[in-house]
Structure 1
Amino acid sequence: MSVDWIKVAKVLERQAGTSPKGRGGEALLDEGQRASLTELARRIRAGRRMALIADEVGMGKTRIAVALIQAVREAGGRIAIVIPPGVGVQWQKELSAFDPEDRTLLPLRSFDTFLDSFLNEGDEEWQRYTGSAQDRLHQKRNDRKLQRELPMGLLQDEEILMISHNFANARFPEGDTPRRGLLGEIQHYLGRGNPERRLYNGYHAAMVRAATVIADTVKSNRDVLNFERIMRPENLAAAEYGEKLRPFIGYGLGPFDLVIVDEAHKARKHDSSLSRILREILWTTPDPLRIGMTATPVELGVMQWKGTLSRIAPAPMDLSHMDAPLNAYKEVLERLQREDLDEDLVKAFETAAGDFQKVLAPYVLRRDKRDDPEFAEVIDTYRELDIRRVAPENSDVTFSRDWLRWFAALEALSFLPCRPGENPMKLMRTRLPHGLGTDMFDAALKGETSANQVVVGTAAVWLEALAAGNGEEIDLHDLPSITETVRLIEGYTARGEKVLVFGRFTAALQALTRLLDAREMLRRLSDPDGHWPASALSKDKNARDAIRIAMQDPMLWSGSRDLDVLESQLKEQYDIRAGRREQAMKALRQEVEAEAKAGNRDAALLRSLWNAEGISIAALLEALEAHHPSRNETRAGLSATEVLDAFADLRADLTDASPDEDENQVEAKPEKLEALVRGHLKEYTGREGNFARLMNGSSSPQTRRTLQAAFNRPGAWPMALVTQSKVGSEGLNLHEACSTVVLFQSEWNPGIVEQQIGRVDRKNSLWLNRFRSWKSNGNVGNMPRIMIHPVVISGTYDEHNWSVLETRWQQLGGQLSGNVLPPRSEGASLLNNVRDWENRIRVAIPRFSPDKLLP
């Protein structure tokens, strides 16, 4: 039985009329979001059951989706939210903002978690343990239920289920393995229904229970569910086994009235986990509503509109009628970039734009900043793109003679005539600007590759140029793009500004982070009142190489370049600081005790940590100083008030970063806080510093969230967050204390770049608050801007990479943001008819905001 969609529409209209209120009485929906709810209600009443919410990054798509979820819940429906990894906690927060009693489970991530949801105490798995081991398993099971990782009953009973994009990645290897038992058990109960049958290979009783629940579900819904009898499913090939099993997993999850696909543009391949979830697992009621969410429905080609919409289209749905309008619009956009305007071109654009809007308007709902009155007057100027080109002619410091010789030789040698795959210089040419292939490059410098075998005639000159030098291995820390990026970042951090850096490849990102920390350490050691939170240098060779490179800057360091001398100096300043802190700690503890007795919650929690096993209070105070925005390096440390303020911030960050804890549990059970603090200190200690931090694929989800919280606090370290593109471009809000983005390594996909910039270009961002202040003060001084700095090594493959990205970025803007006209030089004069043509084009630009959509 499907949900009553008219009731859902009425709830949406009520929310659009009067926004739901948060815990503090604040409105949860702004005017634009409420307009979107009104449009969704209109579509639902008209019988439309699919929509793509494609609002620009930072406009609040999730709030619209959660308002719709609440409406479906109120009407008695069930909801599936299919989300990318790492954003489950943020979805939980948004759900609890609308309903403080919400207890939605953490995302369903794996086949094992699916099976665990059917496990009960007393099952075979418990019998494998005795004594304390069994107690720990009991506690783990209960904790996982309390923390909402597993349901208290069945997954089918949950109103909302979040499902990870990766859920269908499970593999079922051939052979007699435990995880291949479920399909056979389901087939058995569908055929005979013998409750006494035991599993061959005895995985655990959860599999039997899952099989009976799924079989009962199929039997109760024979009129709508199809299934085939499979003889000896354990003998199926791995891929076929997974294909046969996935629909039954969906029956175990139960039917859904509303399916929301977050980041619906991702993993477009037919055999991706997300595609399998949508095609094979999700079971929907007869009249479901499907919603896609993405700020970048297209990234590399106009036909991707069809691919994204097919994610939410009821099957089968023929979208071939879109082909001609989409291609026609793409072609006219390209003509606008290369041809002078005339009447025929303008008419062609008006026609193509109208057809483009007509074919997408029934499905797409997109607000961008043109629809926000606050942005309207500065839409073309509030972002500033400042390309930092690293080239010999404009930088004799960042582009050393060695690097110039190497890059020039690689460019020349890459053009040598040879059979495909025989010239390693072609590969090195594309990789070296990004800090890749340095092992291959070192070997080439030493003549250990086949490079000299492909060199003939005058080309030998370039090989000699490549190998010229002192024979030392290449050091990434003085890669020209790294040197320029460091200079750029330090220009901002010297003014107290934070910087968000994006790159693709780990080796160069690690080198950049190490060099930033090394330079900040030397800067602080050069200051008589400076302090660096470490008593010894790292033993890591790469970290020491970074220090050596940093020491070569005479404007930064004038002391000894002997690392042993530097380490003595580091220890001396640390010991002085530690001695002062030791003297202050006694008085500090007395003040904390007094505050605790007076009822200060944070003082009581801090007191419980003072003598907790495995926690160094000195290390904790050191971490609090780094966490606090107003560190004063000239005194022993923070005052009691500052310590408690910093501790409150740290506690909130750690609780917020842990998907398994909530504030009430932490306050009720200090041992939970102790565990969180231990984890934080383990990560904090042993690092050479945290002025700059790297967030990449190896960073745990909790570390990412802790870094997010610290980066969003003005003045607190890290001041530079160096982020690998695939990790930090989605799902993280980094806008509260940063308005500067450095594109350290160029992407090929402009959609990724938009997502990256969107980390700081969001509602209630630092930039927006500064802009509001600037407006309220009468527009005095320069208008604040979001600064975007691509770093490009001129004359190398890196420049080609940027050129391709720039072209694609402009094409993407033409489809999504209305940026269809080529940039015009400032102050250029235009004939009246050209101005008229440009105005006609602006009027004709497709718009999918609620107030501009076709009925």
Structure 2
Amino acid sequence: MKSTMEWSQVARRIEEIGIEYPKAFSREQQETLSFMAERLPRHGVIVADEVGTGKTRIACAVIKAVLDCGGRVAALVPRGLMHQWRAEFRILFGEALAPKELTTLSQWLGEDSPSPSSEPEWWLISHGFRYPKVTSRSDWSIALPSLVQLYSESPDAREHGRTQLGRLARYVEQNASKWWRWHNLVRIAKRVAPHVDGAPELRSRLLSLPLFVPNGNNQPLCERFFGDGDARELVCELLGAWLGHFDLIVIDEAHKSREETLSDETGSSTRQATKLLPALLAMLQQDQEGRRICLSATPMELDAADWGDLLSRARTGARPEPVQRAVDDLRQCLESAKTAPDQPSTLRALIDAARRFEAVLAPFVTRRRLFSEAQLQELRAHRPEAWELAQPHRQVKRHLVSLRDLAESESTNWRTMLSALEGYSHAAQGLDAAVLGKTAQWAKLIYTKLANGLVSVDDLEDESWLTEIPSELPPATAAKLERLKYWRRLFREARESLEQGARDAGVEGYDPNTEHPRILSAVEAIEAWTDRAVSEKVLAFGVFTRPMRDLRDVLNARHCVRSIDQDAPIAFSLHENSRLLAIAFRSAERMRKAGRLTGKLRNAPLSIEEFRELAEKAHRQYERVQDAIAENVRVRIDARVVKQFSDLDALSRERLRGIIRTLVLDEWLAGGRSEPPRARVVDELVQEIWRDHILPATGTDEASAENEESNEDRCARLAQWINLEWDEVQGRQTGFCRLMDGSTKWETRRSLQAGFNRPHGFPRVLIAQSQVGREGLNLHKACRVVVQFHAEWNPAVLEQQIGRVDRLNSRWWQLYEEWKKDRGDQSMPLIEVRQVMLEGTYDAFQWERVGQRQHTFDATLFGSLLPAEAWESVPEGLREELRAAAPNFDPGRSRGRSRS
């Protein structure tokens, strides 16, 4: 169905919303809304505002305008950010226009979920939405085409009991009354069936599929879903017809679908193209009058040509040839100017190329910086040494671990292991894969795996291919294998030396990987901030799961050591966990030698049994504090439940008390306190936790929490959150450092986000797998320090990571405003970034490569046409002109430019 909505009317409504809600939108955001109002009647738009500037709020205003004008909207959003979109829209415009949500089809089919309508409405659809996987034993997941065919036939045909259609109708009728999935599949089929009558080609494809056979052999139908079969494409088209026509499609994190580096549970990485988002866009129905808005703070990632991909996705209508030409010219001129910044002709060519690049993209792109030009000038004036930096309020440093330092420390064995596997990898170069199979490729990569903390002795157990070298091998290959045997033996001997030292001390459960130089270096970088008198929270990003888990365990174990040293309670039952006890015991000795302990552990080293007894005593102390505050928590929680969630069942109430008791304990013990809090303090903590954890989990706030009409729904959402959080809380013994990776439940991610944004309490350190935590999450309210634990290839990924804490109204922002009022002798507070790098390894090469790519990234997005160190060579007369020519898509400037 084609919409009758007029985009000129939408444009007027966008301008009106900016006026009607003056407190909701800053002046800069209102300029962006004006840009959108001017451009959307003609074509799609890219909103490339810098991380943390409120792109979601801008999109919500446009969505509201489209709805007010009778249109329908789909917002395609990463699943982990859907709750933030819902909350943002509710804060701005209330509950009346709440979105319908679609995460997975299985979830929608499994409950009483809202269906599309022809009325103005909008949908939040997860990037990962797709048709469920079909196997040879599938049942309901292959039935949709047959159900559509069933309901496109006449009632007489459906009631004919002897036909295959009739038997299917009877089966569906029986199951639809018992199972939500069949009930909802029928709802979809009945909505889509009328579309088939007016589409002969679609009907023909539908009839070509084998009909679903209830409780029968459906292998022929299943096979049409596999490989190059046409059933999956047809089902996606049917789902598009079910969802209906959309006037506006908003694509959040619109750069997604490019090639990504992924990590599996074993820590190995692969390269795969993400195709979910393009497939989802192909599913949704939109005519030529429909518009798209692409939101992305990093529209250019690995290559400036990425701009062309995004312009096409946004349906801007921009001609690809001029765009590609402008992009290529700018890229070439940037490279030339970087190597010859003192050549006027080279700089003039760069100025011309930058202006052409801006002119070609300006009709379709709006980009606001986090700071206005005046604010940037102010920051540079406060920090003159950073005058030419794209981000003068950030301090990015490499946190290096040199092989020389390893040789001079207790980690001598690790130097040997690193050197051995470097030699091992070099010796493997040129091995004949036809002779050695996959082992040859694995041997070449093992050194990079070790640098990232991924290699254990298990990876070298299989020696069968090196035990006896076949005489028929070419001499060069045989010589390589002999060298591999030598380097392999050197690695194993050094590893065995580490393990023998632990055995000699009577330590069971020792894992040498927890003392990997990368782990200990990251610990040093993190504790440089968490151990300060004014402790900072730290956000760490990694790629590979296994070393991130090791880092978490080491940080938690060291936190326990500090607590034991100061006679404070510990939540961890170290005395019952041999692995964590081993980490803590060896950490205690290392910390003692470094002078990091000042209490009961500062003197002569303890035996493992003595340390175990102290750990058990500290844990018993924790349990006493826990019991002491339990009653205070129970009284306060019960009062709130009765008032706001009266339908909550008894088991959920009991678990809710336990969850909040744990959170209160985390908050109270974070500062090393050992005595129970007073009742007044418990009340304040419960109130804050209720506001930051419980109400967001139910999609409500204090004002609407007492609305009796939605009490049952709120209680159902709360009970669901409690069940998920209860499992997580039961398995957690401390919250000092938490890990958020692909296995972390969505509800737990929201809880972690809320806890990390609280200035006091746990977690103090949050380790996030890059793909999980780098986009969309707001983690800025209590943190200004980012540690990049693993190297990346893509400067846009690094920018997204830093952008989790570098946002409007962040902790850094508050510190900066306070500093301006009373500077004293202190230097300006900064966003602090530390990049962990093993010097002299493959790690160093990867960091160097991403640094080279950073220049093009900064030039196109941050107005920095030259690297900071190159500006000293620029002739004085060209400096201002060069600065002024940097691409700038600020909406205040863009509105007066040429129109497409």
> Please, what TM-score do these two structures have when normalized by structure 1?
0.85
Deviation at 1:168, TM superposition (A): 2.3
Asked whether the equivalents of residues 131 and 236 of structure 2 are also in contact (C-alpha less than 8 Å), the reply is no
Deviation at 1:382, TM superposition (A): 0.4
- CA distance in 1: counterparts of 2:372 and 2:645, whole angstroms: 48
Percent identical pairs in the alignment equals 27
Q: Residue in 1 aligned with 2:689? A: 650
Asked if residue 37 in structure 1 is aligned to residue 38 in structure 2, the reply is: no
Q: Which is further off, 55-64 or 816-825?
A: 816-825
Q: Residue in 2 aligned with 1:468? A: 493
Deviation at 1:578, TM superposition (A): 4.3
Residues 55 and 548 from structure 1, CA distance in 2 versus in 1: closer, same or farther, beyond 3 angstroms?
Answer: same
Residues 218 and 480 from structure 1, CA distance in 2 versus in 1: closer, same or farther, beyond 3 angstroms?
Answer: same
Match of 2:49 among 43, 47, 55: 55
Residues 291 and 228 from structure 1, CA distance in 2 versus in 1: closer, same or farther, beyond 3 angstroms?
Answer: farther
Residues 387 and 450 from structure 1, CA distance in 2 versus in 1: closer, same or farther, beyond 3 angstroms?
Answer: farther
Q: Residue in 1 aligned with 2:588? A: 551
Asked whether the equivalents of residues 713 and 736 of structure 1 are also in contact (C-alpha less than 8 Å), the reply is yes
**Aligned-partner SS, 2:336:** helix
Asked whether the equivalents of residues 52 and 364 of structure 1 are also in contact (C-alpha less than 8 Å), the reply is yes
The Cα offsets for residues 284-330 of structure 1, whole Å up to 9 and x where unpaired, read as: 2551121111111121112111112221217x975233222111111
- CA distance in 1: counterparts of 2:531 and 2:55, whole angstroms: 35
Q: Which amino acid is the alignment partner of residue 468 of structure 1?
A: E
Residues 609 and 527 from structure 1, CA distance in 2 versus in 1: closer, same or farther, beyond 3 angstroms?
Answer: farther
The Cα offsets for residues 78-100 of structure 1, whole Å up to 9 and x where unpaired, read as: 11101112111001011101211
Match of 2:73 among 72, 76, 79: 79
**Aligned-partner SS, 1:52:** strand
Gaps of 5+ in 2: 160-164, 176-181, 211-220, 260-272, 381-388, 470-476, 500-510
Match of 1:834 among 850, 871, 875: 875
Asked if residue 304 in structure 1 is aligned to residue 328 in structure 2, the reply is: no
- CA distance in 2: counterparts of 1:456 and 1:218, whole angstroms: 65
- Superposition pairs of residues 609-758 of structure 1, within 5 angstroms: 614-615=654-655, 620-628=660-668, 633-635=673-675, 637-656=676-695, 658=697, 664=704, 676=721, 679-758=724-803
Q: Which amino acid is the alignment partner of residue 503 of structure 1?
A: G
Q: Which is further off, 765-774 or 464-473?
A: 464-473
Asked whether the equivalents of residues 302 and 326 of structure 1 are also in contact (C-alpha less than 8 Å), the reply is yes
Q: Which amino acid is the alignment partner of residue 244 of structure 1?
A: L
Q: Which amino acid is the alignment partner of residue 838 of structure 1?
A: R
- CA distance in 2: counterparts of 1:454 and 1:518, whole angstroms: 45
- CA distance in 2: counterparts of 1:169 and 1:612, whole angstroms: 33
Match of 2:430 among 415, 418, 425: 418
- CA distance in 1: counterparts of 2:819 and 2:318, whole angstroms: 50
Residues 709 and 814 from structure 1, CA distance in 2 versus in 1: closer, same or farther, beyond 3 angstroms?
Answer: same
Q: Which amino acid is the alignment partner of residue 454 of structure 2?
A: L
Q: Residue in 2 aligned with 1:233? A: 209
Asked whether the equivalents of residues 308 and 323 of structure 2 are also in contact (C-alpha less than 8 Å), the reply is yes
Gaps of 5+ in 1: 22-26, 117-140
Deviation at 1:535, TM superposition (A): 4.6
Q: Residue in 2 aligned with 1:437? A: 455
RMSD: 3.5
Q: Residue in 2 aligned with 1:138? A: none
Asked whether the equivalents of residues 51 and 291 of structure 1 are also in contact (C-alpha less than 8 Å), the reply is yes
Asked whether the equivalents of residues 253 and 296 of structure 2 are also in contact (C-alpha less than 8 Å), the reply is yes
Asked if residue 506 in structure 1 is aligned to residue 545 in structure 2, the reply is: yes
- CA distance in 1: counterparts of 2:21 and 2:361, whole angstroms: 30
The Cα offsets for residues 116-168 of structure 1, whole Å up to 9 and x where unpaired, read as: 5xxxxxxxxxxxxxxxxxxxxxxxx4xxx5xxxx21x5455560011111112
- Superposition pairs of residues 93-112 of structure 1, within 5 angstroms: 93-102=87-96, 104-105=98-99, 107-112=101-106
Q: Residue in 1 aligned with 2:295? A: 293
- CA distance in 1: counterparts of 2:481 and 2:258, whole angstroms: 46
Asked whether the equivalents of residues 478 and 549 of structure 1 are also in contact (C-alpha less than 8 Å), the reply is no
- Superposition pairs of residues 255-404 of structure 1, within 5 angstroms: 255-268=245-258, 272-279=275-282, 281-313=283-315, 319-369=320-370, 371=372, 373-378=374-379, 380=389, 381-394=392-405, 400-404=411-415
Q: Which is further off, 80-89 or 845-854?
A: 845-854
Asked whether the equivalents of residues 630 and 661 of structure 2 are also in contact (C-alpha less than 8 Å), the reply is no
Residues 659 and 53 from structure 1, CA distance in 2 versus in 1: closer, same or farther, beyond 3 angstroms?
Answer: farther
Deviation at 1:755, TM superposition (A): 0.7
Aligned positions, number: 798
Match of 1:211 among 181, 189, 204: 189
**Aligned-partner SS, 1:501:** strand
Deviation at 1:575, TM superposition (A): 3.2
Q: Which amino acid is the alignment partner of residue 320 of structure 1?
A: E
Q: Which is further off, 450-459 or 329-338?
A: 450-459
- CA distance in 2: counterparts of 1:550 and 1:562, whole angstroms: 13
Asked whether the equivalents of residues 79 and 126 of structure 2 are also in contact (C-alpha less than 8 Å), the reply is yes
Asked whether the equivalents of residues 428 and 440 of structure 1 are also in contact (C-alpha less than 8 Å), the reply is no
**Aligned-partner SS, 1:824:** helix
Q: Residue in 2 aligned with 1:24? A: none
- CA distance in 1: counterparts of 2:760 and 2:698, whole angstroms: 26
Residues 171 and 651 from structure 1, CA distance in 2 versus in 1: closer, same or farther, beyond 3 angstroms?
Answer: same
Q: Residue in 2 aligned with 1:122? A: none
Deviation at 1:218, TM superposition (A): 5.1
- CA distance in 2: counterparts of 1:411 and 1:647, whole angstroms: 54
Residues 640 and 198 from structure 1, CA distance in 2 versus in 1: closer, same or farther, beyond 3 angstroms?
Answer: farther
- CA distance in 1: counterparts of 2:325 and 2:883, whole angstroms: 22
The Cα offsets for residues 739-780 of structure 1, whole Å up to 9 and x where unpaired, read as: 000001101111111110000001100001111111233575
- CA distance in 2: counterparts of 1:617 and 1:14, whole angstroms: 46
Q: Which amino acid is the alignment partner of residue 527 of structure 1?
A: Q
Residues 311 and 807 from structure 1, CA distance in 2 versus in 1: closer, same or farther, beyond 3 angstroms?
Answer: same
- CA distance in 2: counterparts of 1:411 and 1:428, whole angstroms: 8
Q: Which amino acid is the alignment partner of residue 231 of structure 1?
A: L
Q: Which amino acid is the alignment partner of residue 287 of structure 1?
A: E
- CA distance in 2: counterparts of 1:685 and 1:734, whole angstroms: 25
Asked whether the equivalents of residues 564 and 615 of structure 2 are also in contact (C-alpha less than 8 Å), the reply is yes
**Aligned-partner SS, 2:494:** coil
- CA distance in 1: counterparts of 2:327 and 2:489, whole angstroms: 52
Q: Residue in 1 aligned with 2:83? A: 89
Deviation at 1:542, TM superposition (A): 3.7
Asked whether the equivalents of residues 551 and 561 of structure 1 are also in contact (C-alpha less than 8 Å), the reply is no
Asked if residue 846 in structure 1 is aligned to residue 887 in structure 2, the reply is: yes
Q: Which amino acid is the alignment partner of residue 391 of structure 1?
A: S
- CA distance in 1: counterparts of 2:642 and 2:183, whole angstroms: 47
Deviation at 1:625, TM superposition (A): 2.4
Q: Which is further off, 570-579 or 319-328?
A: 570-579
Q: Which is further off, 372-381 or 710-719?
A: 372-381
Asked if residue 167 in structure 1 is aligned to residue 192 in structure 2, the reply is: no
